């Protein structure tokens, strides 16, 4: 069964520190992997999209990596800000069909002063 | 551009009532989807559409109907609300299956 797992479930860091969130998946055949940021009470917003051939993608202070061989991805946040407090969701798509999009449960990040 | 809009933001229903959640997008996207988000779980696909006049079921379609008469609108109908349908519902659109999805602000539904 296709699955997406994320760790940790939640994380608290001090403002200005870096952090890394993990995503492991078993989706096959693989199409792309996306990271979304979801603020409380809002819809998810796309941060990065990576295909099989890409292993790094940056969006400002957010850098996503992908190892398609081990089926692992990470999202690194540099110099965290209070506004980074949110849920970060890893989403993996199968190559075959639009409806085969698997959402991970998310990592809840709290950045404190 | 307004992006993806959803109405209402909040709704309380009694068991057995029916209602329609509205979703509209102004980006001329062909692909639209409805998801529900429950605590501790990833978003789950209810129904999706790859263009006007075309809809299909996702992972959890039971109890919901959709239609796509125009490119812009993709309403979700709850036929006979049940407490298990208490959730936050998100509509999303994208240009195609490989591009990023744009999500609406969500509708928080409570069924008593």
Sequence-separated (6 or more) residues with CB below 8 Å from residue A104: A4, A5, A6, A23, A25, A89, A90, A91, A92, B42
d(CA B88, CA B36): 6
Q: Which of A31, A43, A106 sits opposite B105 (nearest CB)?
A: A43
For B31, name the nearest residue in chain A, comparing CA atoms only.
Answer: A98
pLDDT computed for residue B2 by the predictor? 81
Report the pLDDT averaged over residues A97-103.
76
Which residue of A lies nearest to B104 if distances are taken between CA atoms? A43
Which residues lie below 8 Å from residue B86, measured CB to CB, with a gap of 6+? B109, B110, B111
- Cβ-Cβ contacts under 8 Å, A44 against chain B: 43, 90, 101, 103
> Which letter does DSSP use for residue B73 in this model?
B
Q: What is the pLDDT of residue A98?
A: 63
Round to whole Å and give the CA distance between A8 and B107.
27
Residues of A within 8 A of B23 (CB-CB) are none
Distance from CA of A77 to the nearest CA of B (A): 20
Instruction: Check residue B39 and give its pLDDT.
Output: 85
In order along its 112 residues, chain B shows pLDDT tens digits of: 789 999 999 999 999 999 999 999 999 999 999 999 998 788 999 999 999 999 999 989 999 999 999 999 999 999 999 999 999 999 999 998 778 899 999 999 999 9
A8 touches chain B (CB under 8 A): no
Cα B86 to Cα B79: distance, rounded to the nearest angstrom: 14
pLDDT tier, A95 (very low <50, low <70, confident <90, very high otherwise): confident
Residue A101 — very low, low, confident or very high, per pLDDT cuts 50/70/90? confident
Q: What is the pLDDT of residue B3?
A: 94
For A30-62, the pLDDT digits (tens) are 888 999 999 998 999 999 999 888 999 999 999
Per-chain mean pLDDT for chain A: 93
Q: How many angstroms separate the CA atoms of A26 and A70, rounded?
A: 9
Contact between A99 and B45 using a beta-carbon 8 Å cutoff: yes
pLDDT digits (tens, 9 = 90+) for A19-29: 999 999 998 88
Q: Which of residues 17-46 of A touch B (CB under 8 A)?
A: 31-32, 34, 41-46
* Cβ pair B45:A49 closer than 8 A: no
Mutate to test the interface with B, among A64, A99, A100, A107 (most CBs of B within 10 A): A99
**Which chain B residues are within 8 Å of A99, Cβ to Cβ?**
45, 48, 56, 58-59
């Amino acid at each position: 069964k296709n699955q997406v797992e994320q760790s940790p479930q939640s994380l608290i860091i001090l403002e200005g520190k870096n952090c890394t969130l993990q995503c492991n998946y078993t989706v096959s055949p693989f199409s792309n992997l996306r990271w979304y940021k979801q603020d409380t009470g809002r819809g998810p917003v796309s941060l990065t999209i990576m295909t099989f051939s890409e292993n790094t993608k940056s969006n400002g202070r957010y850098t996503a990596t992908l190892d398609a061989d081990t089926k692992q991805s990470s999202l690194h946040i540099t110099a965290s800000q209070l506004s980074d407090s949110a849920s970060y969701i890893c989403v993996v798509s199968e190559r075959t069909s639009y409806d085969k999009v698997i959402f991970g449960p998310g990592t809840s990040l709290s950045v404190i002063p | 551009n307004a992006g993806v809009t959803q109405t209402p933001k909040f709704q309380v229903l009694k068991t057995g009532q029916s209602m329609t959640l509205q979703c509209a997008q102004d980006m001329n996207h062909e692909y639209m989807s409805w998801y529900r988000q429950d605590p501790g779980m990833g978003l789950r696909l209810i129904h999706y559409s790859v263009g006007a006049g075309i809809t299909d079921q996702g992972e959890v379609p039971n109890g919901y109907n959709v239609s796509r008469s125009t490119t812009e609108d993709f309403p979700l109908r709850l036929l006979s609300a049940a407490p298990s349908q208490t959730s936050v519902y998100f509509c999303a659109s994208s240009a195609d299956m490989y591009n990023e999805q744009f999500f609406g602000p969500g509708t928080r539904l409570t069924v008593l």
